[in-house]
Chains A and B, each alone.
Chain A
Amino acid sequence: MNTRIATSNDTHSHNIGSVAVDGLIAGAGGGIVMVVYLLVAMATLGESPTSVLSRFASGDMQGSIMTGVVGHLAVSSIYGMVFALLGSLVLRGQPKPVRMFAGVFFGIALFVFAEFVLLPAFQSPMLGIPVLHFGIAHVIYGLTLGFLMKLR
């Protein structure tokens, strides 16, 4: 019998790295749902999907859709990882509704930080997105994050 396999799987569930990976995956999922919401919401305001997606790129790569989308997914994944690492300290064993609630708070915190500190500092094109839709998008991101998060 190969005890090496059994041993490595036993430690898998408590490994910080595994928690981080769970967070990355959940964050990416949340990022995708967030983008979908923004595309639909901005479409109702008459803005095309390509215009919305190009807002995600900043600095020298402003206007590049692919860079913006990949960048947004990457940042969502890393925020998801941060949430997972923090959550592993306080949310382990909690039921899914509690995790989703915590995700909403996390999303709102990110929204406040982005809208009032980060984006104005860099004059990001995302400031053109209405505050209401931007806030709802972050709440949706947090909800999805909490839903997808696996804290074993």
Chain B
Amino acid sequence: MIEQPTGLYRWLMRLMPLALLYIAFMIAVRFTSWIEWKPAADFSSSAYYQLALLLCLIIALLVGFLVIKRAPGNVCGPLIVYFCMMIVHPPFDTVTNNYLRAIVQFTNQTFGVIAIVLLLIYFPTGKAAVKGIERITLFISALLFLNSMLWIVAAPSLSDGSLIPNELYIAEFASLAPIAASGFPTILSIMLVSAVASFTIRFRRARQYERQQMRWFLAMGSYLIVLLVGWFTIPRMAGGLESTPGLLLRFAGIGINLVPAIGVGIPILTHRLYDIDVIIRRTLQYAILTGILAVIYFGGIILAQQAFRLITGQSSDLAIVISTLLIAALFTPVRRRVQEVIDRRLYRRKYDAEKMLQRFNTTLRDEVNLDELRQALISVVHDTMQPARLALWVRDAHED
């Protein structure tokens, strides 16, 4: 669908070559002495991490350009590309050149943040749901730019543990540093609140298809929640972030860079949306099922090993076999049970419809009066399908 390009869209497209130049520059800078890579053991310096980041960048750029091509006039496309300016940054503590550090800091605090906030406001149609919130957010975005520029010249050292002096620091602005320091979180909070409010209002007003699109975005947002839970629990376990789950978590963290692209791109690009409700339901179902089977497997091994040690005096690998067979046998009944619980709690209509059909099946078996059966059938169809009109024609047995 071709949207009427707004002023914002036109400006974003005009400045796009600069954004792409910036991205290319940030990639090239990795091969200069301005970046000091830590020893190979450091995760963010490892080749795997950098390759994964590059892959995320390519995917995000592709999605952004696809959205620009397929939905011209929709600001979400250019915003995805502008977000890539944040993906491409090298780790802050590897940057040795102070001007580059200032640029990275400034871009992170402005373009990256504003891109996310504006995506929340303009997704999926490219038009704001509430004009007032749009104007406030754009005005505050300008304040954010000013605040970040102020921070760059007023802070004696940019925020980083090593306290490397800031070469862009101007002593005359030093008294304004506390204002800039407190300004960023304040402005960011206001922007996020307005963006979330706009998203919520749009969701409540949205029709079926637009709601499906927004559910896609929320589903990607839930990926962030899973990551947060991981960041909270895994460092507290044995091995911490250096353990296998810790490494998996850190790699999964790279996926954050794809959340805007995939959360926005798929709903806009796909003509027919995959049924997100089915995906959410299946994800929940199999995530819970995996957790339950893992606990059973663990318990089975403990009990079986204890039994073997009691009887034979030593452990046996047969315990693993027995546990595996146990979870294989329990897979289907546990999955069915979990599905029933999820349907009952979250997808009540589907659950009720199945129960209604089950009751009707019982009626069908026991009832012989045709009039009663007719009423029961009409009632079931009405309750499950909610048609506008319903008619039932029964052919007379005596008709030719």
B310–A21 contact, CB under 8 A? no
Instruction: List B residues 297-324 near A (Cβ within 8 Å).
Output: 298-300, 302-303, 306, 309-310
Q: Is B379 an interface residue (CB 8 A)?
A: no
B336–A78 contact, CB under 8 A? no
B295–A77 contact, CB under 8 A? yes
B306–A3 contact, CB under 8 A? no
Which A residues are CB-close (under 8 A) to B298?
70-71, 74
Per a CB cutoff under 8 Å, which of A21, A64, A70 touches B334? A21
Q: Which residue of A lies closest to B334 (CB)?
A: A21
Band of interface residues on B: 20 to 34
Which B residues are CB-close (under 8 A) to A90?
none
- In Å, the complex CA distance between A20 and B293 comes to 13
Q: How far is the CB of B44 from chain A (nearest CB, A)?
A: 28
B330–A121 contact, CB under 8 A? no
Per a CB cutoff under 8 Å, which of A10, A18, A74 touches B333? A18
A70–B333 contact, CB under 8 A? no
Q: Is A93 an interface residue (CB 8 A)?
A: no
Q: Is A44 an interface residue (CB 8 A)?
A: no
A117–B310 contact, CB under 8 A? yes
B330–A20 contact, CB under 8 A? yes
Instruction: List A residues 82-117 near B (Cβ within 8 Å).
Output: 117
B14-22, B211-219, B352-360, B388-396 - the one binding chain A: B352-360
Which A residues are CB-close (under 8 A) to B357?
1-2, 5-6
Q: How far is the CB of B381 from chain A (nearest CB, A)?
A: 9
A3–B361 contact, CB under 8 A? yes
Which A residues are CB-close (under 8 A) to B295?
70, 73-74, 77
A6–B361 contact, CB under 8 A? yes
Q: How far is the CB of B288 from chain A (nearest CB, A)?
A: 12
B306–A17 contact, CB under 8 A? no
Interface CB pairs A-B, < 8 A, 21: A1-B357, A5-B358, A10-B358, A17-B329, A17-B334, A18-B333, A18-B336, A24-B296, A25-B337, A66-B237, A71-B302, A73-B299, A74-B296, A74-B299, A74-B300, A75-B303, A77-B299, A78-B299, A78-B300, A78-B303, A117-B310
Interface residues of A (CB under 8 A from B): 1-3, 5-6, 9-10, 12, 15, 17-18, 20-21, 24-25, 64, 66, 70-71, 73-78, 117-118, 121-122
Q: Which 10 A-B pairs have the closest CB atoms?
A: A74-B299, A17-B333, A6-B361, A74-B295, A21-B333, A78-B299, A74-B298, A21-B337, A75-B299, A6-B358
